[in-house]
Structure 1
Amino acid sequence: MNCLLRWPEPVVRVQSLSESGISAIPARYIKPPSDRPSRNNTAATPTTKNFEATPINIPIINLQNLFSDDQSLCEETLGLISQACREWGFFQVVNHGVSHELMRRVREVWREFFHLPIEAKQEYANSPSTYEGYGSRLGVEKGAILDWSDYFFLHYMPQSLRNENKWPALPPSCRKLIGEYGEEVVKLCGRLMKVLSINLGLGEEYLQNAFGGDNIGACLRVNFYPKCPQPDLTLGLSPHSDPGGLTLLLPDENVSGLQVRKSNEWVTVDPAPNAFIVVSNAIYKSVDHRVIVNAAKDRVSLALFYNPKSDLLIEPAKELVTEDRPALYPPMTFDEYRLYIRTKGPCGKAQVESLKSPR
């Protein structure tokens, strides 16, 4: 744990670099040629001044049909979610029950936070031991190639880990909106967990109970991707798969940036109006995704991670393990896994693959 007490090098705020007027990004943000967004991406066309892939849509699912009196509509929606989880590992949901006005306000208040003077934000500077607070890098590997982004990370659940004094006091409405938004999206995640349990042939409450019942973990990471003078050379967030059980992403409504890997190609998600993007895990695909950046516009997105209780042993449901489909990984608590992946930051599937049980 000692290796996670401090960052290995002085932290540079990417937003400060962006606003300094540089025309070329520092070498430590330049990705190897094979990892740059202009490669292996048939949906993208880079230009010298700007890079913005042509967006295509992942599945969009209307959750209103889940509560329809028409049983066939409900079953059709369950089937669409199951198919999206198995084929994509990603889908968008509309008519999800979260206020569109709340979604707009929470996104804007965070945009205001990132445009505060650096001194106001530095009060919340984070460390790699918990990541909680204002940050600009992931992982503690010295000399690592960094991503073109800043972020704010906070704990929302369980209540014992929630410390509102660590949430931004400015803008004045920020803490109140974080609380309201967190409550609503955690409820939505709970509804989605029931759907996933049903689709896996388990009891409706199985996954929720396996995650700790009312003592689940929930963390919020707000991502800020500043304008970048050379967006074809770097990434806002390197390829990774999320470590928790479910991720609910509120994307920027004006600028596309999220990419998912589909059949070994990177495709850019076109966010539907007032939609959340859902990232699944388990039998369902845990898909590599990354973020590209933009020369003309910055981006803000909010990722709510719905996680197992930190000290619970994570292993497959016994009902889903067979001789032909054995457990792929040894049991491990979420805290143990989270500590493991924090040492190097995002690096595709390499970390989780290294944990596979010998076959």
Structure 2
Amino acid sequence: MGCPSNWLEPIVRVQTLSDTGSPTIPNQYIKPLSEQPSFSIQSDSLKIPIIDLYELINGDTTTQKAIMDQISIACREWGFFQLVNHGIGHELVDEALEVWRGFFHQSMEVKQDYANTPITYEGYGSRLGFQKGAILDWSDYFFLHYLPSTLKNHNKWPSQPPLLRGVTEEYLQEIVRLGKILLKVFSLNLGLQEDHLRGAFGGDDIGACLRVCFYPKCPQPDLTLGLSSHSDPGGMTFLLSDEHVSGLQVRKADEWITVKPVRHAIIVNIGDQIQVLTNGIYKSVEHRVVVNPHKERLSLAYFFNPKSDVLIKPATELVTSTKPTLYEPMTFDEYRRFIRTKGPQGKSQVESLKSPR
């Protein structure tokens, strides 16, 4: 089934629903009991790893190796970690959040000029899948392309606030730099050539995009989610999150761990494509977003992805007689159609790729 040219049912902006002050949410946002936050086992006793990158960037061989080991453990055991001293200026991090918060507080008329369609999702949106009658998430977003440069079009980025385009461009350049560093570290930690994963992604011709998520106040946060449980379909994700309002939760051992963002930290998580490329050594992890009855929340999710038409399959060096190939080859473009059609669906897509035994 291809994408329709327009949404199959009317689009309602969640921010508009929140602004009405209604004490209840519409039925199409109420999740099944098993998915509601109030029916989940949640834990505050575990925390995702926090890794200081300063010595990796500035230290000697010994201290660099120690940080690489921390990253390896985080990738194998968690699939999620927070980076501090990552080399991106604190002022730029603050500005990135500020300009995008400013966009979502523009008038609805201004935002509607950027309304998106299911074809590319680029622009201002309020749903991720296009299936009619789906249970929706309590969030709005803005999605834009960054790489390859042939897809990037600043005219499709908001013109207000005035600094938004320049700040976003500068911030994304820095994230690309950080992404290349991590791909090198991942490759070396796996015993591969340092440029292996970068080459598997398509070399300098990678794909990358940004989804800015806005989670308005919600009068019944126990009944819905800001973003349903899912693993990210791409390579890896760099998340800049509002430090004052927690919302991101990571699933570990059938419990939901609330991530408490460290100021100016970048949260990194492994995506499905790296799980495939590493033959399951690094695993993508289910995560979701809960909403708040009193405060809005904003986050910038930068998706660092393989080139859309490159074939993704496990690295030959990571396939052995005791650990055969786990996944069938597939291009990233073929893979992401699943999410584009159905929206977040746990880890069902990457699990469906497993080779028959």
Which residues of 2 match residues 196-207 of structure 1 at below 5 A?
A: 196-207=186-197
Q: Give unmatched runs, 5+ long, in structure 1.
A: 44-53
Shift of 1:338: 1.2
One-letter amino acid matched to 2:321? E
Shift of 1:68: 4.4
2:322 corresponding residue in structure 1 = 324
Distance 2:61 2:2 in 1: 55
One-letter amino acid matched to 1:62? D
Query: Which residue, out of 97, 100, 103, partners 2:90?
Result: 100
Counterparts in 2 of 1:4 and 1:279: CA distance versus 1, 3 Å: farther
Q: Does 1:178 align with 2:168?
A: yes
1:8 corresponding residue in structure 2 = 8
Runs of 4+ in 1 over 6 A off after TM superposition: none
Q: Give unmatched runs, 5+ long, in structure 2.
A: 276-280
Q: Does 1:345 align with 2:339?
A: no
**Deviations, residues 288-316 of structure 1 (Å, cap 9, x unaligned):** 00000000000000000000011111111
Q: How large is the Cα RMSD of the aligned pairs? A: 1.3
Q: Does 1:154 align with 2:147?
A: no
Contact 1:55–1:269, Cα closer than 8 Å, also in 2: no
- Partner of 2:177, secondary structure, is helix
Aligned residues: 349
**Deviations, residues 21-42 of structure 1 (Å, cap 9, x unaligned):** 1110000000111101112223
1:136 corresponding residue in structure 2 = 126
- Partner of 2:339, secondary structure, is helix
2:278 corresponding residue in structure 1 = none
Shift of 1:330: 1.3
Distance 2:309 2:3 in 1: 21
Contact 1:330–1:357, Cα closer than 8 Å, also in 2: yes
Contact 2:202–2:307, Cα closer than 8 Å, also in 1: yes
Counterparts in 2 of 1:156 and 1:351: CA distance versus 1, 3 Å: same
Shift of 1:228: 0.1
1:27 corresponding residue in structure 2 = 27
Counterparts in 2 of 1:69 and 1:267: CA distance versus 1, 3 Å: closer
Contact 2:243–2:260, Cα closer than 8 Å, also in 1: no
Distance 1:276 1:232 in 2: 27
Distance 1:90 1:163 in 2: 31
One-letter amino acid matched to 2:346? G
TM-score calculated relative to the size of structure 2: 0.95
Distance 1:69 1:134 in 2: 42
TM-score calculated relative to the size of structure 1: 0.95
1:116 corresponding residue in structure 2 = 106
1:275 corresponding residue in structure 2 = 265
Contact 1:56–1:269, Cα closer than 8 Å, also in 2: no
One-letter amino acid matched to 1:182? L
